Amino acid sequence: MLIVEDEADSARFFSALMESEGYTAVVATDGEAAQKALTAQDEFDLVLLDLILPGISGWEVLKFIKSDPKLRYVPVVVLSALSDKASALQSLDQGAEDFITKPIDVETMLSRVRVMLRIRTLYEDLTTERFGRQQAQRTLEMRRYLSKVMGGSRKVQEVADILDNVVSTDTTVLLEGESGTGKGLLSEAIHRYSKRSEGPMVVVNCSAYPETLLSSELFGHEKGAFTGAVRRKLGRFEQAMSGTIFLDEVAEISPLTQLALLRVIQDRQFERVGGEKTINCDVRIIAATNKPLADMVSQGLFREDLYYRLNVVRIEVPALRERPEDIPFLSNYFLSQQRDRLGKGIFGFSRRSMGRLMAYSWPGNVRELRNVVEHAALMCNTDAVEMGHLPPRLTNEEEKQIKETSSGRLLDQERRLIINTLEKVDWNKYRAAQMLGIARSTLYGKINKLGIEPPDKAEPAV
């Protein structure tokens, strides 16, 4: 990797840090040296770039990299001084993949470097595969998008590995996972980077319509098909022609509509409600549910044949608590959105507030995290989000956990003390109570409360 940093101490620190992680680091102390290094060696996998440089500025180096066909896919991480936040944000618009503010937090820096190198490695692998340059670029962009909106954890990368194989096809995809995990974002990624990206993407929340209206919503109806049908209406499948339809909460579809949907998937044909004309369906189907469809099939609540038609490629979307390493990325991503919307100068989280976000269980997953960050941004009137800016439920839970942990430790210590004392006196409770300085009745009560029992070989003395 190339480290472009004019401050000697910082350059040595960054170089030593990267080499300690097993990377090969080349240091350039100004923009001219950086351009010469990039020209002489086009095999860099990452560039750490300070914007403020003597002579040729970091801006010109960034432009040089992103305008060169051989270098444009090398990730650039901008190192931004605290006094230059606006420039760092502007650098993202000019092609940089990420920026890190100074002073540098080592763990944050290493984590982001790993994500960028993972993307770079993927690009190199894909360019050598049979999909060709165009497909490689599209897949790389999809990976970048997922890393941006979902994080760079191993679990997200496993999901991306599956998408690599299906995104360019018309295969039906079933997304299963808890509410708020980002199933909608994944469906958008599949459509955006598929060969149908020029066509429409139509989203249908199947749980939002009563059984009597869902068929009409999906397949349309003819004028006079039922009371209130005063004109012909095109259904969502017709609106999604040559594109993608996303059936959210597909588990809520009634048995009758399940049968109609099965025909669409099998025969690629349907009729409008009240109509006789058969319409050919050129649509890719992505379905999502927060309920395990396999269990519903075994309970007779969902058609088995439809399940297998939907379950061509199944992706289990991981809950946020299963990938806590994504929380810093997502938190800062959502914060940047709120910063732009509110026009506030908030550029990160305090160590304690980020620790609270990392420790929280997130029952509402990514959707809950986005709402928490929005609340914090609204409450924040400083440069960084502090504990007091987080919703009360997060801070209250921290206090609850501390109390529970402290209480648990005290009970464990008390239990060990009583057992050790009883063992010393061969489980004679009268002598143990004397040694502990408590009444025998009090000792009996504690033994029962703590579930203390003598070993089987011992005959407990009274």
Instruction: Tell whether 442 and 374 lie within a shared domain.
Output: no
Tell me, yes or no, whether 383 and 244 share the same domain.
no
Report whether pLDDT(462) > 60: no
**Domain with 365 in it: what CATH number?**
1.10.8.60
Q: In this structure, are 182 and 292 located in the same domain?
A: yes
Of 80 and 260, which is predicted with more confidence? 260
| Mean pLDDT, range 4-13, rounded to an integer | 89
**Mean pLDDT of all residues in 334-355:** 89
Return the pLDDT at 72: 83
pLDDT of residue 361: 87
Burial (0-12, 13-18, 19+ Cβ within 10 Å), 412: exposed
Cα separation, 313 vs 174, in Å, equals: 6
Asked if residue 457 has pLDDT above 80, the reply is: no
Task: Give 141-194 as a 3 state SS string.
Answer: HHHHHHHHHHCCCHHHHHHHHHHHHHCCCCCCEEEECCCCCCHHHHHHHHHHCC
What confidence category does residue 73 fall into, taking pLDDT thresholds of 50, 70 and 90?
confident
- The whole-number average pLDDT for the span 405-424 is 71
Give the pLDDT of residue 141: 84
Residue 224 lies in a domain: yes
**Structure confidence at residue 147 (pLDDT):** 83
Q: Are residues 293 and 276 in the same domain?
A: yes
The residue with greater pLDDT, 129 or 375, is: 375
Instruction: Lowest mean pLDDT of 38-42, 131-135, 171-175, name the range.
Output: 131-135
Question: Would 347 be classed as within a structural domain?
Answer: yes
Q: How confident is the model at residue 406 (pLDDT cuts 50, 70, 90)?
A: very low
Average per-residue pLDDT in the chain? 85
Together in a domain, 310 and 340: no
For residue 247, is it within any domain? yes
Q: Which of 316, 332, 363 is the last residue of a domain?
A: 316
156 and 296 belong to one structural domain: yes
| pLDDT band at residue 459 under the 50/70/90 scheme | very low
Q: Is residue 412 part of a domain?
A: yes
In 10 A of CB 332, how many CB atoms? 19
Taking the whole predicted model, whether its pTM rises above 0.85 is answered as no
Of the ranges 258-272, 349-363, 409-423, which one carries the lowest mean pLDDT score?
A: 409-423
What is the pLDDT at residue 404? 46
**Contact yes or no for 236/204 (Cβ under 8 A):** yes
Task: Specify the pLDDT at position 132.
Answer: 56
- Of the candidates 313, 225, 309, 315, the one whose C-alpha atom is nearest the C-alpha of residue 267 is 309
Residue 460 pLDDT? 43
- Show which of 271, 290, 316 is a domain's final residue: 316
Model confidence at 397, pLDDT cuts 50, 70, 90, reads: low
Q: For 208-264, write each residue's pLDDT tens digit.
A: 888 778 988 999 998 888 877 888 889 999 999 999 999 999 999 998 899 999 999
275-294 residue pLDDT tens: 888 999 999 999 999 999 99
The percent of residues in the chain predicted with pLDDT above 90, rounded, is: 37
Q: What is the residue-wise DSSP string for 107-147?
A: HHHHHHHHHHHHHHHHHHHHHTSTTHHHHHHHHHHHHHHHH
Residue 398 has pLDDT above 60, yes or no: no
> Do residues 51 and 160 both lie within one domain?
no
Tell me: pLDDT of 36 over 70.
Answer: yes
Domain match, 239 and 343 both: no
Q: Is the same domain home to 68 and 170?
A: no
**Same domain, yes or no, for 196 and 310?**
yes
pLDDT grade for 347, boundaries at 50, 70 and 90: confident
Where residue 204 sits, what CATH number does that domain have?
Answer: 3.40.50.300
Question: What pLDDT score does 203 carry?
Answer: 95
Q: Which domain holds residue 331?
A: 321-390
Q: Is residue 120 part of a domain?
A: yes
Sign (positive/negative) of CA torsion 376, 382, 383, 388?
negative
Please check whether residue 138 lies inside any domain of the structure. Answer: no
| Model confidence at 304: pLDDT above 80 | yes
Is 203 within the bounds of a domain?
Answer: yes
Residue where one domain finishes, among candidates 366, 390, 414? 390
- Examine residue 462 and state whether it is found in any structural domain, yes or no: no
196 class by beta-carbon count within 10 Å (0-12 exposed, 13-18 middle, 19+ buried): buried
Categorize the per-residue pLDDT at 190 as very low, low, confident or very high, splitting at 50, 70 and 90.
Answer: very high
Q: Are residues 292 and 360 in the same domain?
A: no
Most confident range (mean pLDDT) of 94-108, 139-153, 176-190 is: 176-190
Pairing label, strands 233-234, 244-248? unpaired
Number of domains in the chain: 4
Average of per-residue pLDDT across 375-392:
92
User: Which H helix or E strand runs over 77?
Assistant: strand 76-80
pLDDT at 298 (0 to 100): 93
Do 227 and 297 lie in one domain? The reply is yes
Angle between helices 365-379 and 351-359 (to 10 degrees): 150
- Looking at per-residue pLDDT, the higher value among 338 and 212 belongs to 338
Joined together, the tokens standing for residue 112 give 């982001």
Q: Which CATH number do you get for residue 418?
A: 1.10.10
- 443 pLDDT more than 50: yes
Which of 55-59, 178-182, 372-376 shows the lowest per-residue confidence on average (mean pLDDT)?
A: 55-59
CB 400 within 8 A of CB 436: no
